């Protein structure tokens, strides 16, 4: 699940990054940090939007699967830290919020800034749920009650939230690019 922020002439981002590598090895990292900082308000708002989605049953059946998934992913830590981390990250909405990130690409044909849900951070059987949760159509899933299947209602939260912040992110990206371009001109 991604939403691209397109800067007119994405080739400009690629060219700027290429010049940065030639001029100073630290400038590309500084550009990325400026872009990331500019996108933070949109990411925070998107995380808040998914966490604000109402849930009918707080004791969902997917909780144990999410806990075991995060427990397995945290191998290398001692056992108690792994269990604590898995418990803390349980809950569909919280897990999705934790998977929202900014992706910056500066290739010639792939120059882009994206805000996305990194589905690799979700359990394999729940990787489509961010899309379903964003759809008013929702999704059907099995339950262990009287009726074996139930319909879960979703509501738009991802694209609508990011679109409200689109102009802000766009101007932050351009500002970061201008600041770095000015540093190059000054010979920093």
For residue 23, pLDDT beyond 70: no
Residue 77 lies in a domain: no
For tokens 């120059």, the residue is 111
> Where does the pLDDT of residue 67 fall: very low under 50, low under 70, confident under 90, or very high at 90 and above?
low
Which of 31, 34, 23, 30 is closest to 186 using CA atoms?
Answer: 23
Is the four-CA dihedral 108, 109, 113, 117 of positive or negative sign? negative
Q: What is the pLDDT of residue 58?
A: 39
Residue 101 lies in a domain: yes
Residue 26 lies in a domain: yes
Mean pLDDT calculated for residue range 26-45: 89
For residue 188, pLDDT beyond 70: no
Q: What is the pLDDT of residue 165?
A: 94
For residue 117, pLDDT beyond 70: yes
For residue 9, pLDDT beyond 50: yes
> Residue 108 sits in which domain range?
2-55+97-186
Q: Which residues contact 149 (CB under 8 A, 6 or more apart)?
A: 140, 141, 142, 143
More confident residue, 63 or 127: 127
Instruction: Please tell me the distance from the alpha carbon of residue 78 to that of residue 83, in angstroms, as a whole number.
Output: 9
How does pLDDT run across 137-170, given as a tens digit for each residue? 888 888 776 678 888 888 899 999 999 999 999 9
End-to-end CA distance of the chain: 38
Residue 161 lies in a domain: yes
What percent of the chain is predicted at pLDDT more than 70?
Answer: 68
Residue 34 lies in a domain: yes
Instruction: Please tell me the distance from the alpha carbon of residue 86 to that of residue 187, in angstroms, as a whole number.
Output: 48
Calculate the alpha carbon distances from 178 to 16, 20, 33, 173 in Å: 9, 12, 14, 9
Domain count, the chain: 1
Residue 172 lies in a domain: yes
Q: What is the pLDDT of residue 52?
A: 92
């Amino acid at each position: 699940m991604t939403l691209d922020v397109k800067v007119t002439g994405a080739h400009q981002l690629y060219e700027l990054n290429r010049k940065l590598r030639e001029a100073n090895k630290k400038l590309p990292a500084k550009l990325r940090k400026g872009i990331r900082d500019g996108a933070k308000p949109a990411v925070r708002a998107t995380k808040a939007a998914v966490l604000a989605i109402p849930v009918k049953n707080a004791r969902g059946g997917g909780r144990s699967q999410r806990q075991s998934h995060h427990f397995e992913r945290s191998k290398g830590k001692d056992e108690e830290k792994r269990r604590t981390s898995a418990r803390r990250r349980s809950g569909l909405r919280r897990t999705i919020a934790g998977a929202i990130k900014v992706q910056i690409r500066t290739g010639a044909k792939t120059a882009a800034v994206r805000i996305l849900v990194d589905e690799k951070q979700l359990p394999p059987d729940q990787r489509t749920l961010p899309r379903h949760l964003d759809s008013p159509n929702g999704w059907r899933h099995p339950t262990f009650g009287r009726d074996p299947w139930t319909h879960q209602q979703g509501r738009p939260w991802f694209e609508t939230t990011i679109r409200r912040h689109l102009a802000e992110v766009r101007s932050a990206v351009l500002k970061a690019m201008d600041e770095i371009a000015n540093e190059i001109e000054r010979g920093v």
